[in-house]
Amino acid sequence: MQDRGWWLGTALSGALMVIAGAFGAHALESQLAPRLAAAFETGVRYQAWHTLALLALLAWRASRPQAGQRLAMGLWAAGMALFSGSLYAMALTSLGGLGMVTPVGGVLMIGGWLALAVAVLRARPTGQSPSGSA
């Protein structure tokens, strides 16, 4: 299976996202200040969207590998780790200094979307030969 590690990592990200969401909604809801609970929920939401984006990109990559797809996936994965991870850690530990890491993760996720845009622009339409004629 092509990209087996990426599929596994994406599946684990999905599982972690559901666990974190349930943990935040049930175990942490009454334990955290509203600001920290909102930060935790934001981490779950961004992880959810980017896990779904990884699934879609992996499906595209399985049928039509393109330059730039792996870069987008790597940037999203690193962005999720830093963005969502820092929000989870900040909420659970109340260490406000971790908030300085969050924007770095956001920039990486934005970079992943831009890398995807470049990959799409460089991709040839289905059935088109390299010279541009069908």
* 131 belongs to a structural domain: no
* 82 belongs to a structural domain: yes
Question: φ and ψ at 47, to 5 degrees?
Answer: -65, -40
Total-model pTM:
0.88
Q: For residue 53, give its domain range.
A: 4-122
* 81 belongs to a structural domain: yes
3-state secondary structure of 134: coil
Question: φ and ψ at 39, to 5 degrees?
Answer: -65, -45
Q: Report pLDDT for 72.
A: 97
Q: Which residue has the higher pLDDT, 108 or 31?
A: 108
Q: Report pLDDT for 33.
A: 87
* 98 belongs to a structural domain: yes
- The DSSP-derived string for 43-110 is HHHHHHHHHHHHHHHHHHHHHS--TTHHHHHHHHHHHHHHHHHHHHHHHHH--GGGGGTHHHHHHHHH
Q: What is the pLDDT of residues 64-114, one digit of tens each?
A: 998 899 999 999 999 999 999 999 999 999 787 888 999 999 999 999 999
* 133 belongs to a structural domain: no
Mean pLDDT, range 43-54, rounded to an integer: 97
Q: Report pLDDT for 84.
A: 97
* 27 belongs to a structural domain: yes
Q: Report pLDDT for 30.
A: 82
Structural domains of the chain, count: 1
Asked whether the beta carbons of 43 and 84 are under 8 A apart, the reply is yes
User: Per-residue confidence at 29, pLDDT binned at 50, 70, 90?
Assistant: confident
Q: Which residue has the higher pLDDT, 94 or 121?
A: 121
* 52 belongs to a structural domain: yes
Contacts of 98 (CB under 8 A, 6+ apart): 86, 89, 90
* 132 belongs to a structural domain: no
